Chains A and B, each alone.
Chain A
Amino acid sequence: MSNELTWHQACNSDDVDLEDVLGVTIAGNRVAIYRSPDDRFYATEGLCTHEQVKLEDGLVMDDIIECPKHNGRFNYRTGEARGAPACINLRTMPTKVEDGVVYVGLANAG
């Protein structure tokens, strides 16, 4: 895999409340954008690793996202699965904010 990143525009920073999550589609992939209580942005794949449910409908508590379906928990900063039934980690992606716009870096295929 190449480690070149392409930055994709995801949303405006004020589209996401503090301690909340927003779902966006980037290059055909569902991506969840999180805004942490300390006002940083994070991104993970948008579907739960347990049953492909949209994480954007889940609840953010501190640095945890709880899946809207079966209450599996992940640390959205690291992607680590933190509570059954989720046992596969979430893929995370880098983010950056420029002029009020949140960008997500996706690895270039190849």
Chain B
Amino acid sequence: MRADPIVIIGGGESATCAIAGLRSEGYRGPVVWVCEEDIHAYERPTLSKQFLGSSHARPSSVIPPELLDDPAIDIRLDTRATHLDAANRLVTLGTSERIAYSGLLLATGAEARDLDLPGRNSDRWLTLRRAGDAARLRPYLNGQSRIVIVGAGLIGLELAAAARMAGAQVTVIESQDRPLARVLPPAIAEIALARHRAMGVAFRFGTTIASVESGPTGERLLLSSGAEITADLVPVAIGSIPRTELAEAAGLAIANGVVVDAQLRTSQAGIWASGDCCAFPLDGRLVRLESWEAARQLGEIAGRNMAGRALPTDIVPWFWSDQYDLGIQGLGLPPDGATLVHRVIDPESALSFALCPAGRLRAVHGIGPETSIAKHIKRARPLIRDGAVCDPAILQDADQPLWAAFPPLAVAS
């Protein structure tokens, strides 16, 4: 009898790496790979960056050719998994096809959170998650457009940069009193903000949209501050919601994501989860990340574990963002109550270190032209992993070599 296949649900980076992980551990059996989108897994981060300004019809694929050519991998595009029966190990695709699985991975990612305001004309509003969303945005990237972006997070500000560079008039509305509050320390976010302002982006902080009136010349937005703005397009970039509907209906534990253990196993035998849809234990907390590298790393670990390994998810989370020619990177998760130590390299370049009370390095964030701060971030990786203790006085003094702040033993280990 033929073994039941492993079923992978979701066609993003995490799913792709999971299948590569399965194969790397020698699993040669059948795989059914189910993806709702109608194109092969692609580079999602580019949707708010280079892809917007390019003329490419679709973003680059991320699937290694050996997986595409593998006859035992049955790729179902444009197909949604609609029901999961965990007790009987059955998954339903589309309206009727039922497949028995030997193991199943949920790599369903996340969807953009929207603002469903009454009275809006949906043709002039969008969220950015899929290639088709970016295609809708492109025609507005020109000098005639008035674009009002809701949300000053990473995606909102990347969009602001792309739209300004294309000549559009750009306003960003943010309910908090500063940009990038969830992801960056203030000193790093301020450098990005200063650049956006210098490029002519207008900001309205501490403000929300109170109501909308659609008219022939655009969307009239009445703000909570009392001000009014008219927009040709309103991209909403206010975060994402994990795609947990399948898991939830199947009775799996959920807590802002599909809950998994350190080996990425869900609360049901035979089901794993990875990527943006999962909440996994890290530093004693249950966290859900929305970052490309983690989606890839967790996918690979899940795939290898599904093939019989028991690898723990000991990752150090990392992300990057590009705005104009400024590159931002963050590594590690700052603990609650972290002490922030700031190191100014030059007016547009700085690093911010998050130390736990005992002085151990837990996270570093940086900004600078292009990839100029990358080396510092990379050198911090083993230090964060080891919880190296550092000297804040040296860290913040740009006249002293950075790594003198750490004892030589920590650097060597």
Q: Measuring CB to CB, which residues of chain A are less than 8 angstroms from any residue of chain B?
A: 53-54, 57-59, 66, 68-71, 84-85, 87
Contact = CB atoms under 8 A, between A and B. Distances in A.
A70 B292 CA distance: 9
Nearest to B45: A70
Given A69-B320, A84-B296, A85-B296, A58 B375 contact: yes
A74 B64 CA distance: 17
Contacts of A71: 293, 318, 378
B374 A69 contact: yes
A59 B371 contact: no
B211 interface: no
A5 B62 CA distance: 36
Contact of B293 (A53, A58, A66, A70): A70
Contact of B372 (A57, A70, A85): A57
A53 B327 CA distance: 11
A59 B371 CA distance: 11
B379 interface: yes
Given A69-B320, A70-B293, A71-B293, A57 B375 contact: yes
Interface of B: 17, 20, 62, 64, 292-293, 296, 318, 320, 327, 370-372, 374-375, 378-379
A87 B379 CA distance: 24
Contact of A59 (B296, B372, B375): B375
A59 B320 contact: no
B374 A59 contact: yes
Contact of B371 (A53, A84, A85, A87): A53
B378 A59 contact: yes
Nearest to B296: A84
Q: Which of B20, B374, B379 has the most CB of A within 10 A?
A: B374
Contacts of B374: 57-59, 68-69
Contacts of A68: 371, 374-375, 378
A57 B293 CA distance: 19
Nearest to B20: A84
